[in-house]
Amino acid sequence: MESKSYKTFGVVVTGILVLWCALLLVQKVNLSRADIGRHIKNGEIMVDTSWSEKMEVLNTNFYSFTENNFPFVNHHWLSGVVFYFIFILGGFKGLSFFYIFLSCLSFYILFRIAKNEAGLEVASILSILVLPIITQRAEIRPEVFTYLFLASFFYILWKWTKEEITEESKLRDKKYLFLLPILMLLWINLHVGFIFGFLLLGSFWISEFVNFCKTKKIKRIKWLTLISLFSAILSLINPFFIKGLFYPFRIFENYGYLVLENQSISFLENLNITNGLHFGLIKFLYTLALLSFALPLFVKKDLRKFPIQNLIIFVATSVWSYFAVRDFPIFSLLFLPIVAYNIGFFFSKNENNIGKNLSITFLVITLVWFSLTSFSRIKEKESSFGIGLMPKVNAAVEFYKYQNIKGPIFNNYDIGGYLIFHLFPEEKVFVDNRPEAYSVDFFQKIYVPAQEKREEWLKLDQKYNFNSIFFSHLDLTPWGQNFLIQEVSDFAWAPVFADEYNIIFLKRNTQNAEIIKKYEIPKSNFGVTRQ
């Protein structure tokens, strides 16, 4: 039985880990490059506008004047509604707190499972390993709902596997199982990551099927089959019906633009893009997980009790995360309870006081080391550490609106959500950061070539007669940098605003003459030389 002092120690350690999870997620929003502005606008339209506009934002590109009617599955529409209401209540600070809270809750749920399976010391050390990866995507995104529902699904299914089911057991006595279909109904409308819910259901179902083949006891497999069917049926309650259910398998069919977070580890390593992505740590976690599955092979353990679902989940999420680095947190969250179970399955809980004291000492040393390294990580992002928006991030759009500048606007990919949030419906964007909302040809034959080749830009300008260029100069793509150098040198366009985030050019015409006369920035200020 645990002593009172040890329980207190456990509460303190848990609190420290959750606190560090929160601190590592604290990051001000750079709205000029974030998705959250568009999500809030989605929510506003879904709540406050006509039925026809709701249908358009669900099914079409909607925000762009270039491919306005291009078909699009707005799979995260409900996230926008949630974000919109939180924004009304608490602004961007409220959204930051909300995102941090849900992320920490997701971690805590899975930490509790790990602690139950392998003890406080093992669960804490595993948590220290995964927290840098779980918290690396600190931007407010709909995927936070996937983290929460993933943890909830795993907890419910784990709890169910721990309970004995007899012939006298009734499904109504396991009411918590019916939470799974309800959660799936919400999940499919909040984020495309709902597919991980079916991964968990399928993995646990396979494990139960194997057990059924051994024991011929049908009750457990029958119940899980029923719950899985209910989950599949309720998941059809989405604006896209069966198309929405299978959308995760089709989302990359129309991707004409290279997005870093959707690339594999090897692809990014070949380009030497590794900074802050923790590739070394994730590879160590892959190896550690594999070793934890291999442990029972070297000892006389009853492998019939070994959970097959954990192996299936590990293989699926490790492959998924290797080929799309955006899924690192998914793998890391599930790594925590799965590897803890494997370690707990291998080692008996040691009640020896000397062993416990040694493990506690090691944990304390590890926590101190983790705290020191985390402080350095926070120090590295000192300028962005905080809640709400980055300072003066809205200055460019405030200038644009105050000067009553008009479109059509040519903008870059990253800044689209920012412009949608501030300027829609008065102005539509040229492009925004939804690759699947535009045709492949648009990106490969129009957007990129216009920034790479002068003649393509002139043809595009002739077609749309742009009045302004609103560009994030933090765009580090070769074509984006080439375009900025080109425009700074182009007399036809005058730079009238520039800050640490964005730059605005106006076409030299009668409409813009007064603004250019008053605010034109001398070309010499940019100090750009063409190689």
Pick the residue with more confidence: 366 or 210?
210
Flag whether pLDDT at 306 surpasses 80. no
- Segment 270-288 mean pLDDT: 87
- The strands making up 493-498's β-sheet, listed across from edge to edge, are 409-411, 468-472, 502-507, 493-498
> What is the three-class DSSP state of 111?
helix
Identity of the highest mean pLDDT range in 9-23, 291-305, 373-387, 412-426:
412-426
* Of 330, 350, 384, the domain-final residue: 384
> Are 129 and 229 in the same domain?
yes
Question: What kind and span of H or E run contains 410?
Answer: strand 409-411
Judged against a pLDDT cut of 70, whether residue 400 lies above it is answered with yes
- pTM of the entire predicted model: 0.91
Q: How confident is the model at residue 376, as a pLDDT?
A: 64
Residue 64 has φ and ψ, to the nearest 5°, of -105, 145
Structural domain boundaries enclosing 296: 73-252+261-384
Has residue 320 got a pLDDT over 90?
A: yes
Which residue carries 């809205």 as its tokens? 394
Angle at 79 between CA 76 and CA 80, to 5 degrees: 95
Query: Of all helices (H) and strands (E), which one includes residue 504?
Result: strand 502-507
* pLDDT of 5 higher than 90: no
Please give the angle made by the CA atoms of 15, 18 and 22, to the nearest 5 degrees: 135
Task: Give the mean model confidence (pLDDT) for residues 221-239.
Answer: 94
CA distance 433 to 435: 6
Residues 110 and 245 in one domain: yes
Average pLDDT of the segment spanning 342-351:
67
Distance CA 489, CA 530 (A): 10
Lowest mean pLDDT among 80-89, 352-361, 474-483: 352-361
Is the same domain home to 89 and 164? yes
Could you tell me if residue 114 is inside a domain? yes
Query: Residue 351's pLDDT is what?
Result: 44
Same domain, 519 and 431: yes
Q: pLDDT band at residue 301, thresholds of 50, 70 and 90?
A: low
Tell me if 50 is assigned to some domain: no
What pLDDT is stored for residue 369 in this prediction? Answer: 60
Residue 101 falls in which region: left (phi positive, over 0), alpha (psi -120 to 50) or beta: alpha
Question: Which residue's entry shows tokens 């991980």?
Answer: 196
Report the distance separating Cα 430 and Cα 65, nearest Å: 6
Residues 184 and 142 placed together within one structural domain of the fold: yes
Nearest-5° angle of CA 330, CA 331, CA 332? Answer: 95
Residues 482 and 416 in one domain: yes
**Could you say which of 351, 384, 417 is where a domain stops?**
384
pLDDT of 531 reads 43
Q: What per-residue confidence (pLDDT) applies to 350?
A: 46
**Same domain? 327 vs 407:** no
Half-sphere exposure of 411 (CA within 13 A, CB side): 30
Do 89 and 165 sit in the same domain of this protein?
A: yes
Higher pLDDT, 177 or 526: 177
In this prediction, residue 364 has a pLDDT band, given cuts at 50, 70 and 90, of low
Residue 337 placed within a domain: yes
- Considering its fold, how many domains does the chain have in total? 2
Residue 171, CA distances (Å) to 11, 219, 221 in order = 34, 9, 12
pLDDT surpasses 70 at 368: no
Q: How much of the chain is helix, strand and coil, in % rounded to 5?
A: 65, 5, 30
In a domain, 412, yes or no: yes
pLDDT digits (tens, 9 = 90+) for 140-161: 999 999 999 999 999 999 998 8
Q: For the segment 182-228, what is each residue's pLDDT rounded down to a tens digit? A: 999 999 999 999 999 999 999 999 998 888 888 777 888 888 999 99
For residue 508, is pLDDT > 90?
A: yes
Please provide the DSSP assignment of 437-449 as one string: GS-HHIIIIIIHH
> Is a pLDDT exceeding 50 seen at residue 304?
yes
> Which of 384, 403, 436 represents a domain boundary (last residue)?
384
The answer on pLDDT for 303 being more than 90 is: no
Mean pLDDT of 351-365: 53
Does 463 lie in the same domain as 358? no
Number of Cβ within 10 Å of residue 93's Cβ equals: 15
Considering the domain boundaries, does residue 305 fall inside one?
A: yes
pLDDT at 358 over 70: no
Give dist(CA 110, CA 103) in Å, integer: 11
Residues 134 and 274 in one domain: yes
Residue-averaged pLDDT of the chain: 88
Q: Residue 29 forms beta bridges with which residues?
A: 389
Q: Does 229 score more than 50 pLDDT?
A: yes
Residues 325 and 404 in one domain: no
pLDDT at 136 over 60: yes
Same domain, 356 and 406: no
**206-209: Cβ within 8 A, 24+ apart:** 206/308, 206/309, 206/312, 207/161, 207/307, 207/308, 207/309, 207/312
Question: Looking at residues 432-450, what average pLDDT do you find?
Answer: 93
Question: How far is it, in rounded angstroms, from Cα 367 to Cα 349?
Answer: 22
State which H helix or E strand residue 451 sits in.
helix 448-452
Is there a domain that residue 34 lies in?
Answer: no
